Structure 1
Amino acid sequence: MVLRSCWKSRHKNSSGPAPCWTRPRLAALLWLCVTQFVCGSGAEGETNTVIQKDAEFDVTYNDTVTSENQTIYAFNHTVSRNKTEGVRVFVDVLSQGFESPILFVVRQKQAVVSFQVPLILRGLYQRKYPYSHVGRTLCQPPTRAASETQYFFVDVSTLSSLGTNYQLRVSRVESFTLQTDKKFSFTASPSQPQYFKYVFPDGVDTVIVKVNSEMTFPCSVMSIQDIQCPVYDLDNNVAFIGMYQTMTKKGAITVQRKDFPSNSFYVVVVVKTEDEACGGPLRFYPLRPDELIDAGNRSKFIDVIVTPAINSEVYVMGMLFCLGIFLSFYLLTLLMTCLENKRMKKREVFQIAADMSPAETASLLGKNGDGKTPASPYEYGSFADNGSTLSSEAITDSATSTDNNYGYVEQSLDSIGRSRQESLSSVEEDDYDTLDDINSDKNIVRTKKFLCVSDLSRKDKRILSKKYQIYFWNIATIAVFYALPVVQLVITYQTVVNVTGNQDICFYNFLCAHPLGALSAFNNILSNLGYVLLGLLFLLIVLKRDIVHNRALVRNDLNALECGIPKHFGLYYAMGTALMMEGLLSACYHVCPNYTNFQFDTSFMYMIAGLCMLKLYQKRHPDINASAYTAYACLAGVIFFSVLGVVFGKGNTVFWIIFSVIHILSTMLLSTQLYYMGRWRLDSGMLRRIVYVIYTDCIRQCSGPMYIDRMVLLVMGNIVNWSLAAYGLIERPNDFASYLLAIAICNLLLYFAFYIIMKLRSGERIQCLALVCILFTAVVWGFALYFFFQGLSTWQKTPAESREHNRDCILLSFFDDHDIWHFLSSIAMFGSFLVLLTMDDDLDTVQRDKILAF
């Protein structure tokens, strides 16, 4: 009965000849009748007039709609399988009917799209923005036939009893399909979003969709969606499906064919109602919850270009290039090791000759008594014809001459045979009483005005070796327990990105982010391989030196026992392990870089800086260097503050005051510890002793510091650290982790420069290998810092603002500036470690009581 009344009502209220009722038109009538049955037709006795019109494209319809009439516009168009055309609906409401908007329902073959005009879009805090001009693109259902006629209907209705004027226009979008490497320009707004279709050409499996605009604001969203209906193209639903990212001036998304079974996708661009998501100003909060805010003109002119991404050959070339660079260091090290072993064998010949009898030496050297080669094998080790034997002077002269030819230090047999007690004594007998306390009391030894390494290397070597090996085992343990949850967390991050499609979670350089498998930016991960390979190479170099030194100790080599800087390799092993872990954790960070996991990239940088400073101090102060437990506890405190700074440090004055006070107090306590070589006490009488020292040394008599060199270093260190603390308190930088790392690096560079200056000032020299390492490392650090400060992305800003810094790849179409920073910084760190390892090789034949401690 309802359908019959609807049918009669349709014939009663329609004007003109009866149309030919096709299946789509009958379906439209059935829809109207069901709608009237469900929703009613107003007050009792009232009838809702339904008017259906055959409409055409590119014709503007000016009509009026009330609660008593409803208008249906029927369109039909031919769809070709070989040609894709878009259909766009434009609606303008000419009267301000915000209380009773007009409802437009577009019914298609596979989708129904409905929207009201004025269109109310909500922003932050549920603020409402009305739009009277709406434009929507209709999705295009795929067709299997070569040509097919499709129908769609636009229903217009309202509940307003007053007439509301509107304009309706439906147009074809001729340029609906994007072409590869061809820029396409258009204009979008919050109420008039745009989307276009792209079809993968043959032979192209991955493309990069780049969206650019000269306008920073209004903020917009770019989305990649599969070919299906409906298309989510409004600010409140664009994140429902596909991949999406906010943008201001730049946006880029890498799209792979395997993710789209239809070999095509939609590029959707939506302009947001507000700019807060892109770092723009926050609009005022409405006074009333139902207050409507004028959005103003938020149109944005945008360019879209789709370019093919790199192919598999570029991936292979990038991997081979990365491996080739770092494996070349292995080959170079192997070559230098072979040359060094050859030279060491020659050196051992002459060292052994110095310990042999004259006859044995002559036999080893292959010469007779007069220095000539024997005429026959029977003359080796025998007396000469004249019955004379080789004198010790001749042997000494011969060995000395040969040593000079090979660049070794001249050393006589008498100096080699000097008693060990005499060589270890650096006590100035004129200044101290010759009592036993002078050799046992640490207060006496460590407060001497001029300290030597022998004064600070009195502890048993085996005990010290075990003490410093703890550094390696502790950092290995820390690495395992730190890395496992990090790997698990970043896998979760990457999974969330892949599942949700939210490209704002991770701060990549989207213009040079090459995916591989589930990883979104494989190139940024691969470039960290250098830290791991070079860290492993450094461990192998240290292991080789450790083995050679232990062999020298086994054969009681006097140089190894009593000369040079004491060899302790535990800190070196810890440094190499830290470098490898830096590569692993940096790779984990670059799986999904953002502010919550930036600590993964910096934690072991703090450790590397701390271990390098400890190693520099240990070289001249092996007995009083910090234990592994104390050192790692301090580094744990640094990492703890790093996390606090990332979470609470942004603009928090209280946090910066507390941190600055702790920074300054820590600097003063460490300065006191270094100046007095640990011979001071932190107790209740400390203030009294400080006042007494100030009175006696500054007021009663003006006397200079006893340890001038140490005082100069510590004064400069305090000036630098106090300046950094003041800078942090005044500026309060957003990137607290980098600020903390800058403090560590500045202190390391200051101490390293002091060490080099004091080494040269003490009359020591830097050998050729160490000098080459220093110069090479300095140059590489300079280039590395240049690429680091390019700033391709930054999590200190919003994701949209970060993408403004994105740039294309610059190396092999695979690596960007930050990847080059990874390459160069890993090489520079490796070079810095080699500098620490080889810097004091010139002292290997110098007795420890002749090596100054500073």
Structure 2
Amino acid sequence: MVKQWWPILFIIYNVQGINITSIVIDQQVASYTEAVTYEINATYQVVLFYPTIETPNPFRVKAWSPDAQANLPVLVVVQQESSVTSWQVPLMVETSRRDYVLKFSNTSKTMCHDQMDSIVNPDFSTGDLTVAQRFIVGLSTSSPHTVSISIEMEEEKDFYVELDKSYSVSVSPSEPRYVFYKFLEDAPDIVIVDVDSEDDICLVVSVQDSRCPVFDTNKDIKYEGVYQTINLKGALTITRKDFDPGFFLIFVAKPDNADCTEGSSYLPRLETNFHLSTQNITTSITFKIRPTVTRREYIIATIGTLVTLGAIGIILTILSLVLNRFGTISKSDKDEPPVYDCFEPLSEFAIQDLLKKDILTVNYLARQPRRIRKRSYNYLSHILSIAVFYSIPVVQLGVTYQRIINASGNEDMCYFNFLCAHPGLGFSDFNHIFSNIGYVIFGILFNFVVIDRYTIIKIRKTKGIPVHYGLYHAMGVALIIEGLLSACYHICPSQSNYQFGNVRSTNEVNISNSTMFQIQALCT
């Protein structure tokens, strides 16, 4: 067994200038049920042999040292059948400040089971399931002074979690934790992982596929799977098609709260020094994997929303059609003569006649009502031009954001309400995208009502200026575009696309103001 460690020892101690022939390697057989403590230095190291054990549960290796120094740490190397894992004690964790590193004397890591593939996808055609595993733990240091190091093996008995059952774990930046969930045949295809923390320590929650190794450190947790940062509460929606037949659920505590605050903002900000604790950071987490809405429930909710909005819109449309045909305005228009545009200038007599009137209203000055009506459609053409040239890049950017989320797994890019975000049609939060369908439905119906009103109620000159039907059409189109752009915003709500819906809202306000002025003129 010494030959397996010879290359590592040669590199470590040859660099330090120590005669490798003077190194004493103490080989011992260790027990899984008790913690052991050793005194090691640059010339004395320990190799622990843990015998083969039959269990599907992985083991957690705990290592701590009260007197090891950061410049001369204790190197812990755990060898398994098909992998090697190493770390140092004390563990130095980088913070958001480049000039500050936190030191953790207590460390622990969960060893991914050697037979994880066989456990997740058992094949009994080749014989009985083998769940055997063994460990070789090497302890070494370059310190010339004696350093105390303690090692303990702990079986993770709650490693395989179940649906609709709460679990609690404690994590720190030097002691990450992870568990495994398997999609059973009768289990739902989509589940939600609810995470609750007792304090506001920043955490990274990651979901990775069932293959080893597991990325469970602050440096590499973002290299695999889907992840997000949380403080007090968070949720991840996981689908079977993305993580079949199961997934690892990893929890890692951050050394400070920079990633969970405005420190991770894309906008320019003033330099902020976040509070850094000099003590070991430990937080308790409670999580639960629960089923989300089923496909049938999703379809029922979608159709129900369409039916409800459609029914309301149809009722209002019928009411408007009735008022157009039997209302006060339609009745008053029947006896009025047709209105034509007048292109000839007023004579002196006509001008004097207007000036002698006791009440002078706007309708006396509206000499070209049909031309004014046609010019009102400029509002519609302008709003359509703006909508086309603004919507194309908005749609492209929204789809690009969704593709980046799918490729990188970084759910911090978007400000989703993860507790009620339900994926669908390739989107992470389809239900909030679909919630804007009301804008589109009522915008279409509004334009239909305007067309009917224009057909029934002709141009009149009893009072006010001619009706600007193009202005009303522009309002309807703006409402439709508002729904489309708001849906694009909800593809990935963030600081960089917040203006998608606001720009159209501004246009709607301007058009509404113009409409109110026109209505006021009609009633003058």
- TM norm structure 2: 0.87
For residues 497 and 450 of structure 1, do their structure 2 counterparts lie closer, same or farther at Cα, with a shift above 3 Å needed?
farther
What is the rounded CA distance, in whole Å, between the counterparts of 1:121 and 1:242 in structure 2? Answer: 22
Among candidates 496, 505, 512, match of residue 596 of structure 1: 496
Q: Does 1:525 align with 2:500?
A: no
- State the 1:56 CA deviation: 1.1
Gaps of 5+ in 1: 1-27, 287-292, 348-405, 421-433, 554-559, 622-839, 841-850
Deviations 1:539-598 (CA, angstroms, capped at 9, x unpaired): 11111112224xx46xxxxxx344566222011010000000000000000000011101
Indicate conservation of the 8 Å contact 2:361/2:463, yes or no: no
Structure with larger Rg: 1
Counterpart residue number, 1:43: 18
For residues 418 and 205 of structure 1, do their structure 2 counterparts lie closer, same or farther at Cα, with a shift above 3 Å needed?
closer
What is the rounded CA distance, in whole Å, between the counterparts of 1:410 and 1:487 in structure 2? Answer: 45
Counterpart residue number, 1:309: 292
Among candidates 35, 42, 45, match of residue 67 of structure 1: 42
- State the 1:322 CA deviation: 1.5
Counterpart residue number, 2:79: 107
Matches within 5 A, 1:274-285: 274-279=256-261
For residues 563 and 148 of structure 1, do their structure 2 counterparts lie closer, same or farther at Cα, with a shift above 3 Å needed?
closer
What is the rounded CA distance, in whole Å, between the counterparts of 1:255 and 1:571 in structure 2? Answer: 47
Indicate conservation of the 8 Å contact 1:130/1:294, yes or no: no
Counterpart residue number, 1:583: 483
Among candidates 96, 101, 105, match of residue 124 of structure 1: 96
Deviations 1:181-232 (CA, angstroms, capped at 9, x unpaired): 111012111111111111113231111001102212x211111111222211
Q: Does 1:138 align with 2:111?
A: yes
What is the rounded CA distance, in whole Å, between the counterparts of 1:207 and 1:436 in structure 2? Answer: 79
Deviations 1:394-431 (CA, angstroms, capped at 9, x unpaired): xxxxxxxxxxxx996699x8xx68999xxxxxxxxxxx
Matches within 5 A, 1:200-599: 200-203=183-186, 204-216=188-200, 218-261=201-244, 263-279=245-261, 295-333=278-316, 335-336=318-319, 339=322, 343=326, 452-455=361-364, 457-549=365-457, 552=458, 560-562=460-462, 566-599=466-499
What is the rounded CA distance, in whole Å, between the counterparts of 2:58 and 2:272 in structure 1? Answer: 35
Letter matched to residue 140 of structure 1: H
Deviations 1:118-157 (CA, angstroms, capped at 9, x unpaired): 1000011322111111011111232355234222211111
- State the 1:38 CA deviation: 4.7
Deviations 1:451-507 (CA, angstroms, capped at 9, x unpaired): 52324x524123312321111011111111110100000111111111111111101
Give secondary structure in 2 for the equivalent of 1:258: coil
Counterpart residue number, 1:55: 30
What is the rounded CA distance, in whole Å, between the counterparts of 1:245 and 1:214 in structure 2? Answer: 18
- State the 1:271 CA deviation: 0.7
Letter matched to residue 34 of structure 1: P
Indicate conservation of the 8 Å contact 1:112/1:230, yes or no: no
Letter matched to residue 190 of structure 1: P
Letter matched to residue 113 of structure 2: Q
Give secondary structure in 2 for the equivalent of 1:298: coil
What is the rounded CA distance, in whole Å, between the counterparts of 2:358 and 2:150 in structure 1? Answer: 96
Counterpart residue number, 1:32: 5
For residues 79 and 496 of structure 1, do their structure 2 counterparts lie closer, same or farther at Cα, with a shift above 3 Å needed?
farther
Letter matched to residue 492 of structure 2: C
Among candidates 111, 119, 139, match of residue 156 of structure 1: 139
Letter matched to residue 264 of structure 1: G
Give secondary structure in 1 for the equivalent of 2:412: coil
Q: Does 1:174 align with 2:83?
A: no
Indicate conservation of the 8 Å contact 1:78/1:147, yes or no: no
What is the rounded CA distance, in whole Å, between the counterparts of 1:33 and 1:117 in structure 2? Answer: 22
Letter matched to residue 453 of structure 1: V
Letter matched to residue 475 of structure 1: I
Letter matched to residue 80 of structure 2: Q
Give secondary structure in 1 for the equivalent of 2:481: helix
Give secondary structure in 2 for the equivalent of 1:59: coil
Indicate conservation of the 8 Å contact 1:110/1:229, yes or no: no
Q: Percent identity?
A: 30
- State the 1:53 CA deviation: 1.4
- State the 1:275 CA deviation: 1.3
Indicate conservation of the 8 Å contact 2:168/2:284, yes or no: yes
What is the rounded CA distance, in whole Å, between the counterparts of 1:112 and 1:333 in structure 2? Answer: 70
- State the 1:604 CA deviation: 0.9
Indicate conservation of the 8 Å contact 2:321/2:449, yes or no: no
Q: Does 1:192 align with 2:175?
A: yes
Letter matched to residue 443 of structure 2: G
Gaps of 5+ in 2: 123-127, 264-270, 341-347
What is the rounded CA distance, in whole Å, between the counterparts of 1:181 and 1:124 in structure 2? Answer: 36
For residues 106 and 45 of structure 1, do their structure 2 counterparts lie closer, same or farther at Cα, with a shift above 3 Å needed?
closer
Among candidates 487, 511, 518, match of residue 618 of structure 1: 518
- State the 1:115 CA deviation: 0.5
What is the rounded CA distance, in whole Å, between the counterparts of 1:96 and 1:521 in structure 2? Answer: 48
- State the 1:327 CA deviation: 1.6
What is the rounded CA distance, in whole Å, between the counterparts of 1:461 and 1:223 in structure 2? Answer: 66
Q: Does 1:165 align with 2:148?
A: yes
For residues 246 and 30 of structure 1, do their structure 2 counterparts lie closer, same or farther at Cα, with a shift above 3 Å needed?
same
What is the rounded CA distance, in whole Å, between the counterparts of 2:338 and 2:299 in structure 1? Answer: 62
What is the rounded CA distance, in whole Å, between the counterparts of 2:491 and 2:70 in structure 1? Answer: 48
Indicate conservation of the 8 Å contact 1:54/1:75, yes or no: yes
What is the rounded CA distance, in whole Å, between the counterparts of 1:236 and 1:419 in structure 2? Answer: 77
Deviations 1:796-833 (CA, angstroms, capped at 9, x unpaired): xxxxxxxxxxxxxxxxxxxxxxxxxxxxxxxxxxxxxx
Indicate conservation of the 8 Å contact 2:176/2:252, yes or no: yes
Indicate conservation of the 8 Å contact 1:453/1:620, yes or no: no
- Larger proportion of helix: 1
Indicate conservation of the 8 Å contact 1:118/1:130, yes or no: yes
Counterpart residue number, 2:125: none
Counterpart residue number, 1:90: 62
Letter matched to residue 156 of structure 1: L
Letter matched to residue 91 of structure 1: A
Letter matched to residue 270 of structure 1: V
Letter matched to residue 545 of structure 1: R
- State the 1:40 CA deviation: 5.1
- Larger proportion of strand: 2
What is the rounded CA distance, in whole Å, between the counterparts of 2:432 and 2:325 in structure 1? Answer: 41
Across the aligned residues of Structure 1 and Structure 2, the Cα RMSD in angstroms comes to 3.2
Deviations 1:295-343 (CA, angstroms, capped at 9, x unpaired): 3141111101000111111111111112101221353256446756875
What is the rounded CA distance, in whole Å, between the counterparts of 2:257 and 2:208 in structure 1? Answer: 23
What is the rounded CA distance, in whole Å, between the counterparts of 1:474 and 1:101 in structure 2? Answer: 70
Matches within 5 A, 1:682-701: none
Give secondary structure in 1 for the equivalent of 2:495: coil
Letter matched to residue 88 of structure 1: R
Counterpart residue number, 1:556: none
Indicate conservation of the 8 Å contact 1:497/1:505, yes or no: yes
Indicate conservation of the 8 Å contact 1:565/1:619, yes or no: no
